[in-house]
Structure 1
Amino acid sequence: MTTHPEAVAPAPEKERTGRTGPVRDRYFDLLRALALFRVVLYHLTGWAWLPLVFPSMGVMFALAGNLMARSLKRPPVQVIRGRLRRLLPPLWLLGVVGVTGMVLQGWGPDADGHPGWWWLHLTFWIVPLSDPPYGEGLPGVHGFIGEDWAAELAGPLWYIRAYLWFVLLSPLLLKALRALPVVTLLAPIALAVAFEHSYLALPGERFPSALTDFSTFGACWILGMAHQEGVLKRLPRYIVPSVAPVIALVGLWYALRHDFSAGNDLDSMPLAQALWSFGTVFLLLHISPSWPEWPRRLRRWAGAITLLNSRAVTIYLWHNICILIAATLWDRLWGVTVLEQNVPGLLESVWPVLFLAWVLIGGCVLAFGWVEDLAAKQRPRLWPRSEPRVRVRGSRRRAARGG
């Protein structure tokens, strides 16, 4: 089982058009749901080719950047406050459960010999300007959850930190995009090249890791903003299909030149990841059909896609630990002699573990997902399979205030 993190974004806000109610781009909803499902499958299997088939991380950052650019038609402080309100409560709930479990297993101020720093770094569980700390090497619960579970729990949290910084920088990025679109789009990739060839070296770990995330996925975030701003539509139609595959193939070529394989895939190659994700996202945004309603072939999946979008943060935050528990429980079946002797292939298969992991993820959705509704100032729901109702009075109040 691998622990490479992937990305996910908070459930999108509703786009309003006058008094006709909420309008959503179902194509973006589909991309977000596919990205989330692929994240879970990849973290369970570690198949190196999955990020090539669908670069979830770049897709999710692009969708979030698109949404951020749309929202920045309102005052930036108001938009940033709204994003933080929707993002942080699910993290706080994870911290309450996870940190409590770590402390009960002996993790605390004396764990690293620097109690003052421990308390200071613990504040990153409240506002994740840097990676929240966790207890390394903690024992598991025999037969239920594997060892070093805290590392699995904390694995996805880098994305929360990266997303937060992208949100904070978005007003400046949007201004730069409007003034110098090409330079702004290519600046993160240029930074990735500088890091890759050691033209730029920074001391420490926290600041360089944040800049590495920006250099790897900043171009995708800005691409999403450019799509919302209409920058991509102003390009001749032949430009994107001609240029995007070349950029992606350069990223693939670079990965293959650096021993691309399981355990050494795009997640460990920031420049290759940046190029492949940028090229793929460029194509996906160019294709974008903008569905206000579900196409007939996808209507049967509308409920599942809506659920994944409505509980994206919850699923992302809890999926790693669910995978670990599912794998631990499934491994117990090796102790059943009849199964070990007769169906070893079944016990080695990833598919039963994947099914069990999604069952556990569903349990987390029921237990913790309602926090996302409260964060969005909506009525809490246990299992959302349709869009929340829009209160007309509240909508008119927001419209009157320019929202």
Structure 2
Amino acid sequence: MTTHEYTAGATPPLGAPRVRTEPAAVPAQAPAAAATKPGRDRYLDLLRSIALVRVVVYHLFGWAWLSILFPSMGVMFALAGSLMARSLSRPAWSVIRGRVRRLLPPLWAFSAVVLALMFAGGWNPAHDPDTGGGVWGVADVLNYIVPVGAPPYPAHAGSESGLLESSWAEQGAGPLWYLRAYLWFVVASPLLLWAFRRVPWATLLAPLALTAVIGTGLVTIPGETGNAVTDFAVYGGCWVLGFAHHEGMLVKVPRYLAISGSALVMAFALWWASGHLGSEGWDLNDIPLADALWSFGFVVILLQYSPSWKELPGRLARWDKLVTLSNNRAVTIYLWHNMVIMATVPILDRMYGLPFMDSDRAAAALDATYTLWTFVLVWPLIGLAILAFGWIEDIAAKRGPRLWPNGAKPKGGAPRGSHRAGTEAPSGDGHRV
């Protein structure tokens, strides 16, 4: 398994989305530092939706440059950090308990499907040498229930000629890195916010300093422990930037200074990346220090220009329902998008058996447009996943279940999925996006 955008690794191209990426994203009531009235900040909702789409596209095509164009994971962690800071006006334990409660039921539904497929394929964690086997191999399965560590999976499952190709388990479990990181950030947030309010600059820059130590090979922490610490360091700066946004610290910094400073940090990130390119080239998910610095500078610029919209303006208004839907179902989209991408392959392969596909010319045309058809098909399949599993997010939030909460108003009634009904769960760019 690679380390990032899923950990820091790029997702493989079509048919083999790499594990641990870009996105997900977490539907949540978006925090608004500058707002004077409670409610959602549609600018932040829009950012979360863009991050989710970018995660899906990244895992679909594997384009390394997407990690530069829009660092989804950094954006989502910053949005979640801002929301967490706002929520911590309440007792810390109740906030942590609420976040965990909203996160786990959607995870359990996902885990039930994935584990059932793994066990049906003959996988036995007690006898799997890749997981250590024995009692510890079985105990690791508990990470599918509470993601405090890395969930195990068979290195090879299915078959290249079957409905599920051999790396499906790795790809399916990939998004769970984000839930693990989110959970640890939530647990650490009361202490981080306490430190931020006393020594803001030290708390803000400490994760970048930690990344410079463990993300450059100066200090090496082996195994999944090293991956978890690296995740925490790389995205910790963005999480604390969310605190700074909510606390109003960013608006106190002159814009010219924030933008010019961010540009220098991002330039250094690209310079560092140029000398440490991995197998995926310019995929910053494989280069921890570059990823941390680029995401940090990018998020500073986005939050400096945060307009705190109550409604999406102008032409953006046409996307209002989709933005609302994606925010209300961010956990579902993030958890299931890799499985959905893999599902497009056997569906499209069936097209070769259609009567009008018996000529070489028709088959060649499908070969040439296969990736395009995958892109077209993945979105209605994500819609089906939302219908099948999205309502679990409502149950987890102690709300009545809704099939399609896009904010549309039923005839003669209140909105079915109002803008205020966001789920306070993790946002997800899969390790990565």
TM-score (norm 2): 0.84
Partner of 1:372: 393
Give the distance between the partners of 2:333 and 2:341, measured in 1 at CA.
11
- Sort the Cα spacing of 1:66 and 1:54 in 2 relative to 1 into closer, same or farther, 3 A: same
Q: Deviations over 1:28-64 (max 9, x none)?
A: 0000000000110010101111111111111000000
* CA contact 2:405–2:417 (8 Å) conserved in 1: no
| TM-aligned CA distance change 1:339 to 1:45, over 3 Å | farther
The structural deviation recorded for 1:186 is 1.0
* 1:292 shift after superposition: 1.3
Superposition pairs of residues 1-400 of structure 1, within 5 angstroms: 1=13, 2-3=17-18, 4-13=20-29, 23-108=39-124, 109-112=126-129, 114-140=133-159, 142=161, 144-202=163-221, 204-259=222-277, 262=280, 265-334=283-352, 338=358, 340-342=360-362, 344-349=364-369, 350-386=371-407
Distance in 2 between residues matched to 1:181 and 1:343, nearest whole Å: 60
For 1:397, the equivalent position in structure 2 comes to: none
Write the deviation string for residues 224-271 of structure 1: whole angstroms up to 9, x where unpaired.
Answer: 111001111111232111111111111112112223674661111111
Shift of 1:110: 2.0
Deviation larger for 218-227 or 189-198:
189-198
C-alpha contact (below 8 Å) 1:143/1:332 kept by paired residues: no
Rounded Cα–Cα distance in structure 2 between residues aligned with 1:138 and 1:247: 42
Number of matched pairs: 388
Q: RMSD in angstroms over aligned alpha carbons?
A: 2.4
Give CA deviations for 1:136-179 in whole Å, capped at 9, x if unaligned.
Answer: 20014955332221111101110000000000001111111111
Indicate conservation of the 8 Å contact 1:330/1:347, yes or no.
Answer: no
* Structure 2 gaps, min length 5: 1-12, 408-414, 419-433
Q: Report the Cα offset of residue 303 of structure 1.
A: 0.6
Alpha-carbon distance change, 245 to 346 in structure 1, aligned in 2, over 3 angstroms = farther
Q: Unaligned stretches of 5+ in structure 1?
A: 391-403
Does the Cα contact within 8 Å between 2:23 and 2:56 map onto a contact in 1?
Answer: no
Deviations 1:85-113 (A, max 9, x none): 11111111111111011111111222336
- The answer to which of 1-10 and 186-195 deviates more is 1-10
Structure 1: which amino acid aligns with 2:143? F
Alignment partners' CA distance in 2, 1:14 and 1:34: 14
Deviation at 1:325, TM superposition (A): 1.3
Higher relative contact order at CA 8 Å, sep ≥6: structure 1 or structure 2?
2
Question: Quick one: percent identity of the two aligned structures?
Answer: 48
- Contact 2:215–2:289 under 8 Å retained in 1: yes
TM-aligned CA deviation for residue 346 of structure 1: 4.3
Cα distance in 2 between the residues matched to 1:346 and 1:267: 32
Q: Secondary structure at the match of 2:79?
A: helix
User: Which amino acid in 2 is paired with 1:303?
Assistant: K
User: Per-residue CA shift, 1:62-90, capped at 9, x if unaligned?
Assistant: 00000000000101101000100111111
SS of the equivalent of 1:365 reads helix
Change (3 A) 1:185 1:340: farther
Alignment partners' CA distance in 1, 2:215 and 2:359 = 49
Answer yes or no: is the 8 Å Cα contact 2:352–2:363 preserved in 1: no
Match of 1:396?
Answer: none
Distance in 2 of aligned mates of 1:256 and 1:198: 16
Paired residues of 1:146 and 1:328 also in contact (CA < 8 A): no
| Alignment check: 8 A CA contact 2:30 2:41 kept | no
SS in 1 for 2:151: coil
Partner Cα distance (2:324, 2:389) in 1:
17
Letter in 1 for 2:142: T
Distance 2:325 2:140 in 1: 34
Q: How far did residue 296 of structure 1 move?
A: 2.8
Q: Cα distance 1:226–1:339, how it changes in 2: closer, same or farther (>3 A)? A: farther
Contact preservation (8 Å) 1:370, 1:381: yes
1:368–1:22 CA distance, 2 compared to 1 (3 A): farther
Shift of 1:23: 1.1
2:277–2:287 contact (8 Å) kept in structure 1: no
SS of alignment partner, residue 127 of structure 2: coil
Residues 343-395 of structure 1 deviation map (CA, whole Å, 9 limit, x = unaligned): 635433322101211121111111111100101111101111116578xxxxx
Matched AA of 2:341: I
Output the TM-score relative to the length of structure 1.
Answer: 0.90
Aligned to 2:8: none
The residue aligned with 2:426 is none
Indicate conservation of the 8 Å contact 1:334/1:347, yes or no: no
Distance 1:15 1:158 in 2: 24
Residue 424 of structure 2 aligns with which residue? none
